[in-house]
Structure 1
Amino acid sequence: MCGIAGYFGLGPDRGLLERMGAAQRHRGPDDQGTFVDGPVGLAHQRLSIIDREGGRQPMATADGRFVLAYNGEVYNYRALRAQLEAESRTFVTQSDTEVVLQAYAAWGADAFDRFNGMFALAVWDRDEQTLTLARDHFGIKPLHLSRVTPQDDGAGGSGGTGEAWLFASEIKPILATGLRDPAPDERTIYRYLRHRVHDDGASTFFEGIERLLPGEMATISARGLERRQFATLQQDLVATRPPATGAGPETVAAMREGLKESIALRLRADVPVGTSLSGGLDSSAIAVGIDRLLTAHDDSAVAVGHRQQTFSAVFSGYRNDEERWVDDAVAACSDRVESHRVRPTSDEMFADLADFVRTQEEPVVSTGPYAQYRVMKEASRHVTVMLDGQGADEMLAGYVPQTVTHLRDLLARDRRAGIAEAFATRDVLGTVVRARLRTRIRGGGSFGELLRPEFVADHADDSYAVAGADLRHRLVHDLFVASLPALLRYEDRNSMRFSVEGRVPFLDPQLVRTVFAMPDDAIISGGWNKAVLRDAEQDVLPPSITRRRNKIGFTTPQNEWFHEQREQIYRVFLSESFSRRPYFDQAEVLSAFDLWLSGRGSLDSMAFWRILNLELWLREFIDPRPEPDESARPATVSTLGTSRGTGVDLVLSDGSLARQHLVGAPRVTDQDDLTSLVVEHVTAYLDVLGDERPAGARSRRWYVFVSGEVVATTQHRTFDVWDIPVTRIARLLSRHATRTGAGVGFGSPFAMQLAIDEVGLPRLLTAAAADAAGRLVGRRGLFDTVVGSIVAGRDERAVDGPNQGSARAANTSIRLAPKDPAAVAALLSKALRQALPDELAATFCGTVVVDADDRGCTVLGTDAATAVARLEQMFADDPWGRGAGQTPLALVLDDRRVASAEPRGRDHQRQASVSPLSVPARARVGHSTGRPG
């Protein structure tokens, strides 16, 4: 197993090839190589599996005409080698790579259809000047392609003319070239969100980057690119028309022998081989198949070793835990099994999410692949090759929708037989019907309501349909389009992330042809899907597995995990980046997620995973890299005044000046004593002000401004949204409020719920009635104003969050207005006067509790005798302070002199050198805030 990459149409550039290889080094850490010839460059990363000493790539024929970069394993390479040797071809290694190369040299593209295995390859024909790319029959191994414009650097590097092409096993190498900027493919995103599909065609989530399809090849030359299918497997399977009935012992024997041969082929390796074991029928059949080969001392099982290593993900205490079936499968084997089990937790998954998103490269439809990710991580400590059961569900109708298709097909052909089959399947169908009824009863809207209308409108003509009336068509569609391609991508990325090769015995072309030639009742019979496989394994696996009805597979307890990690999910949905996406209606997403958490609504955790996964993918691959931390920079100049170091001069309406000093402090939490905090930091700041101190000859009047937010926090009036149980009436009333990115934010059902808890439902219903009456006479916004005044007192803006577009934590918490801010101001002033020297206490005018942002300042309460209007002009919310989040206090010096252009004294001519006081942070718990104002 390896990673391949390269280009066509560029000038010689080994540096570019090395960057591409480095971006997927995990696919082949054992060796690397490059090849350059004219317009072509090939790069190879090798994971040595067969002939570890030989088989280095890129590999050339003896005459140098053909050069191969190849990823995969061709399991029938020994038989092919014998045929080639009979045609006078000679070999110098024992690798399957050389067989692939010589087969192409002898048979051209016709060789591909002879390969039984998994492969993605690139072969350069020097004489014809063509580059041929190909992908195996089922698309087990990936291959991506992108057309780019050469960038001539003037020195030959990466130069070229006309169009050029990049290719790679993964997408990251293409992005690493710098020739293709990452951009989202909008249609793919829409289909993923709305229809829950991906990997069902050539398009990827990256605009301008495509994948080769299963069984497809591409030829690139100076004439351009030509794509075509080299295999007829899909068409052959569709055309197969066996009888409806007739499965018998010979059919079961064919299944048993075909799977045994396929497993034996896929055990060929010069490195340790293990098995993925979920506890389901498919993986258990492979595990016991390997065990039978071991106990029979079959030569094909040499790489397994003395004991088979199995690897499982189990989830003790959750509904979808399969450990009991893993136990049964292990017990069905001989004592030559060592069972390894990983027990992922929701904390671990969210800690791994960034790496998991990078690993998969494109979004996935559920968290299920994470279980496989953890299994491969554990397996990499013990083995290099893993076998698992991918493909059996697609070829043997392992999914409920395939059973439904079969019933429709059967009812159309034989109504009596169809009714009998439906009755035999009543338990499976009943589960589906009950789930749909629950969805309708719960209501709560559709997924489309979570998307921005303009995004939906842009893709109004996009639809998705699968073959629904013919079982054979449906199985082929699932094998090559709807289901298996995505699962194979998951497995490839998860295994190769940890330098493990995944092999899939059910996806043997001959085995699949054998199954499709069987009668229909070998697929589904008497209410049982996978009928022939169940019968083939009934003598070696217990009935708990062969007659098991509930299918789980490698998955996670996603529902429970989302409840456990609701805080993490809320943080994403409330983030600034999420609010800017052109895809989601943030308010609707939040409301729907809250509804789902409370056990209501028609959506499920799969819907919210898709949204979450897409947002994390956009951050990882599409969003620009964040700029260096700005918090260490000097204070930004306020637009309301002139910055003088840490002091900002504000020009008041009467022409006089006030100087504002922001006071630094550790982040304030609900465990802090506000009085002690204010006294400690104000007095410490005054000590370092020196000549700026508001005392002595200057006799300047001064005030302490305190953020209403920190007052509310220390009063335990700040709440994380995930701790607020929202009622239906709160959700309904919030729809009447203005949804805004700043200010009161009662358009959020979380804020509305707090308002109900604060003042009672009757008063808010009165406000809603006033708003309705106002709308009749053309007045809008009364609801926000009335609710704000009821909850917040003087100004509704004193209630904050969760504000769309705000930085954390303003976007994940809600703050009610502080209680009795005037009394708080008086208490703080009293404590300050007691702590201050007489000369400072004499000029201290009082404390002002404010709510401030870049739009202005609102006085919530004060004990100062100064007019409120003047106080509100004396404070400006500093943008740098907000970004740093560490300036909850301010000293404001009111000098009352008329502003002029003349210098105002030596100390005002110099640049102030005092920085906001830095006090070592103490260990704190609970809610916190440090936002100024």
Structure 2
Amino acid sequence: MCGITGICVKDLARGVDARLLEAMTASLAHRGPDGSGSFVGPHVGLGHRRLSIIDLATGDQPIYNEDGSIALVFNGEIYNYKELRQELMARGHQLRTQSDTEVIVHLYEDFGDDCVDHLNGMFAFALWDAKHERLLVARDRLGERPVYYAEHNGRLLFGSELKAILQDRSIPRDVDLGALDDYLAYGYIPAPATIYTSVRKLRAGERLVWDARTGVRTNIYWKVPFAPGRIRTEDEWVAELRALLVDSIALRLRSDVPVGAFLSGGLDSNGIVALAAQQLGTPLQTFSVGFGEADFDELALARLTARRYNTDHHEIMVRPGDLSSFVDLVNHFDEPFADASMLPTYYVAREARRFVKVCISGDAGDELFAGYSQYRQVQRYATIDKIPLPVRRVVFGAGAALLPDSVPGKGLFDRLSVEKGARYQRQIGVFSLRERRRLLRPEAGAARCAESRLFDPFYNANGLDPISISQLVDQNTYLPEDVLVKVDRAALKNGLEVRIPFLDHRLVELVNSMPLDLKLRGGVTKYILRRLLRDDLPPEILTAPKRGFGMPLKHWLRGELRDFARDLLLSPDSRSAAYFERPAVERLLASHDRRGRDMSERIWTLLVFEQWCRAAA
């Protein structure tokens, strides 16, 4: 894994600011501690920080084509690079390295911007074509690798993280109030927005082209597919899925440095470890994180698979005192990000980096195989939805309005009073529309809060059942904007690359073409995955209830961290007070103290924003 940066200028007389490019690149040293490189031409400057994993000797960047007219900086891994090398050499290309990066340069020579269609991998790259004086920037299909960019004062700046662009002190820091509303609604800021009005993010599966004449143009080159596939028997589905998953894991084990694996107590990571261990000739190094609270701790389950496959197993424990990294980690994300599992992800990545440079993980299994509890809830709502919506709005809406915030069941009444995107936001989001309007001050956009603008477009999809629509929403929003952001930042803060076999785009396309009954059957989630792995895993793993990779925040915010939250949010010098109504914050804290509804996710979301405000001031 690496970090990339760049500057493009329209005015040749102005030229590229080499000092700024150097500062931008240096700000990403954590992503690539093994080396740096740069290229500066008349219109463009490219910067690179390297984490060396493939072709340790000759893989330094930027990388060029045969005549030097194309320069490339790249972040990620192209898993099918060996096959692509053979194809390119058969067509007469001369490759001077053994790296995966170089294949992109020559694919661009053959296919132009459509070079991305040939790549199986996670990537973000910037390619300068000097002959045509144009820049191509692209992000992988599922959004594993990030790209931020800003157009300001006649220049385009881009980088793997927001902090690279903010090295330019002239970039405006105006808070995007629409992005703040999204943050409170979802716990993250979805692309293309960022917390600042002046900076944007490339979306998953998106390309950006820049030239001095037309400036920036973007387009989506790949969308998550969700359509029925050809008819197969259940045995045929299982066999095809297993073959593809085994191949995906084999590709992600390609490396010139040791590879380890994250191992929780869940089906997904255990399955990945089991299938990976069967391919390796040496013991796989595995890494697990646990908590003192029994209802969140999965170490005992992880040990079962570790013992079965004789892995070199490592465990760490996360306790309330470990929130000492809270400030540093929140600041590292550069913009508000409220997924509390960033903390255990950071700690397990830090432990893993002591032994390996690369880990594989079981992320994305829930989104693909309908593993989340909300999918079963969507199924149960079908009965109540037979009541006309106007009636439900009156009956359940009135019930939600009458119940105090601290009473369990208020959220359910609120969800039953709406439908489609609005309901799903209230299922999986943080603050509902009503709560955001009460929380935000008028000058912070309270009147402009939107119901569910992020989710609504997916409910216009034709021919999909409600559960498949929910999966489509998650694969397009929560997965790239939350899960993959968390993994990218928390792991690369430690200089660790994480590879995700479930995100091979071929596998995504296959699973999304399966009948729903193969994913959710009779209340059993991930049915086909459980069947596929039934001979590979201990029975306790196959039957264990889902816990999720979360934090025991509800316990901590009523115990050791109660005063921490109050002191930070209600202090006289609170920065978030410029955005939030103090009485609403006080009610939220008091409601959680009464041990009724669990308000910990909402409190954590405000804590993160408060700390971000302090860092950004």
Alignment match, 1:839? none
Aligned residue among 499, 502, 506 for 1:503:
499
Q: TM-score, normalised by structure 1?
A: 0.58
Alpha-carbon offset, residue 411 of structure 1: 11
Q: 1:833 aligns to what?
A: none
5+ long unaligned stretches in structure 2: 387-406, 415-433, 460-464
Residue in 1 that maps onto 2:331: 358
**1:239-293 CA distance string (max 9 Å, x none):** 44667xx652221122221111101100111111110111101111111111111
* Aligned mates of 1:221, 1:611 — CA distance in 2: 41
CA distance in 1, matches of 2:576, 2:277: 54
Partner Cα distance (1:220, 1:39) in 2: 11
* Matched residue SS, 1:94: coil
For 1:168, which of 159, 164, 168 is the aligned residue? 159
Deviation at 1:191, TM superposition (A): 1.8
**How far 1:409 moved relative to its partner?**
7.5
Picking from 532, 538, 541, the partner of 2:534 is: 538
Distance 1:409 1:110, change over 3 A: farther
- Of 276, 283, 291, which residue of structure 1 is paired with 2:262? 276
**Match runs of 1:281-430 below 5 Å:** 281-294=267-280, 297=281, 306-333=282-309, 335=310, 337-349=311-323, 351-406=324-379
Whole-angstrom distance in 1 between the partners of 2:551 and 2:450 = 34
Bigger drift between 458-467 and 111-120 goes to 458-467
- Distance (Å, rounded) in 2 between the aligned partners of 1:486 and 1:321: 22
Q: Is 1:212 matched with 2:186? A: no
* Structure-2 change in CA distance of 1:45 and 1:68 (3 Å): same
Contact 2:63 2:73 in 1 (8 A): yes
Distance 1:312 1:370, change over 3 A: same
Cα distance change of structure 1 residues 402 and 92 upon mapping to structure 2, 3 Å threshold: same
Flag the 1:267–1:248 CA change in 2: closer, same or farther, 3 A: same
Helix, strand or coil for the counterpart of 1:374?
helix
Q: Alignment partner of 1:253: what SS?
A: helix
Q: Where does residue 2 of structure 1 map in the other structure?
A: 2
Partner SS for 1:254: helix
Amino acid at match of 2:268: D
2:182, 2:190 within 8 Å by CA — same for their partners in 1?
no
**Equivalent residue, structure 2, for 1:256:** 242
Q: 1:106 and 1:409, CA in 2 relative to 1: closer, same or farther beyond 3 A?
A: farther
Q: 1:579 and 1:174 mapped to 2: Cα distance? A: 23
Q: CA deviation at 1:404?
A: 3.6
Distance change >3 Å, CA 241–CA 437, structure 1 → 2: farther
Query: Which stretch of structure 1 is more off in the superposition, 219-228 or 510-519?
Result: 510-519
> Which amino acid in structure 2 is aligned with residue 6 of structure 1?
G
| Alpha-carbon distance in 2 for matches of 1:576, 1:316 | 34
Displacement of 1:463 in angstroms is 3.4
- Three-state SS of the structure 2 residue aligned to 1:486 is helix
Q: CA deviation at 1:107?
A: 1.5
Q: Relative CO higher for 1 or 2, CA cutoff 8 Å, sep ≥ 6?
A: 2
Q: Is 2:182 the counterpart of 1:182?
A: no
Whether the aligned pair in 1 keeps the contact of 2:575 and 2:610 (CA below 8 Å) is no
Match of 1:570 in 2: 566
Q: Summarize the Cα distance change of 1:66–1:579 in structure 2 as closer, same or farther, 3 Å threshold.
A: closer
2:362 aligned counterpart, secondary structure: coil
125, 129, 137: which one pairs with 1:125?
A: 129
Q: Write out aligned runs for 1:543-562 (5 A).
A: 543-553=539-549, 555-562=550-557
Name which of 512, 516, 521 aligns with 1:520.
Answer: 516
Quote the residue 1:227 is aligned against.
218
CA distance in 1 between partners of 2:343 and 2:576 (Å): 28
The answer to whether 1:105 aligns with 2:97 is no
CA 108–406 in structure 1, closer or farther in 2 if over 3 Å, else same: farther
Q: Shift of residue 440 of structure 1? A: 7.1
**CA displacement, residues 826-881 of structure 1 (integer Å, 9 cap, x when unaligned):** xxxxxxxxxxxxxxxxxxxxxxxxxxxxxxxxxxxxxxxxxxxxxxxxxxxxxxxx
Counterparts of 1:888-899 in structure 2, within 5 Å, are: none
CA contact (8 A) 2:7 2:156 kept: yes
CA distance in structure 2 between the aligned counterparts of 1:507 and 1:184, rounded to whole angstroms: 33
Partner SS for 2:318: coil
Q: Find the partner of 1:202 among 187, 192, 199.
A: 192
- What TM-score, normalized to structure 2? 0.87
Where do 5+ consecutive residues of structure 1 fail to align? 150-162, 298-305, 414-433, 624-933
Q: CA deviation at 1:454?
A: 4.7
SS in 2 for 1:142: coil
Structure 1 residues 410, 461: CA separation in 2 closer, same or farther (over 3 Å shift)? closer
Question: What RMSD over aligned residues (CA atoms) do the two structures have, in Å?
Answer: 2.4
CA displacement 1:313-354 (0-9 Å, x = unmatched) = 101344211112112222332x2x1111111111111x1111
Whichever residue aligns with residue 198 of structure 1, its letter is: Y
In the TM superposition, what whole-angstrom CA distance separates every residue of 1:613-664 from its partner, at most 9, and x where no partner exists?
A: 001011112x1xxxxxxxxxxxxxxxxxxxxxxxxxxxxxxxxxxxxxxxxx
CA distance in 2, matches of 1:206, 1:457: 18
**Partners of 2:604 and 2:267 in 1: how far apart?**
27
Question: 3-state SS of the aligned residue for 2:477?
Answer: helix
How far apart in 2 are the matches of 1:386 and 1:14? 35
Q: Report if aligned partners of 2:296, 2:547 keep a CA contact under 8 Å in 1.
A: no
Paired AA for residue 98 in structure 1:
E
* TM-aligned CA deviation for residue 460 of structure 1: 3.9
Equivalent of 1:265, from 217, 241, 251?
251
Amino acid at match of 2:318: P
CA 1:548/1:90 → structure 2, altered by over 3 Å: closer, same or farther? same
Q: In the alignment, is the contact (CA less than 8 A) between 2:228 and 2:514 conserved in 1?
A: no
> Is contact 2:362–2:500 with CA below 8 Å preserved after alignment?
yes
User: What per-residue deviation string (whole Å, max 9, x for no partner) do you get for residues 186-207 of structure 1?
Assistant: 11111221x2243433001222
Matched, 1:55 2:59: yes
Do the aligned partners of 2:187 and 2:339 also contact (CA within 8 Å) in 1? no
Q: 1:247 to 1:451 in 2, by over 3 A?
A: farther
Against the structure 1 CA distance between its residues 238 and 409, is the aligned structure 2 distance closer, same or farther, given a 3 Å change threshold? farther
* Match in the other structure for 1:471: 467
User: Is the contact between residue 125 and residue 137 of structure 2 (CA under 8 Å) also seen in structure 1?
Assistant: yes
Assess if the C-alpha contact under 8 Å between 1:579 and 1:586 holds in 2: no
Q: In the alignment, what sits opposite 2:589?
A: 593
- 1:446/1:603 contact within 8 Å kept: no
Picking from 422, 425, 449, the partner of 2:438 is 449
- 1:104-135 Cα distance to aligned partner (Å, 9 max, x none): 12211111011000000000010110011000
SS of 1:17's equivalent in the other structure is helix
Deviations along 1:663-713, one digit per CA (max 9) or x if unpaired, are xxxxxxxxxxxxxxxxxxxxxxxxxxxxxxxxxxxxxxxxxxxxxxxxxxx
- Matched residue, 1:430: none
Query: Counterpart of 2:179 in structure 1: which amino acid?
Result: T
Counterpart position of 1:29: 33
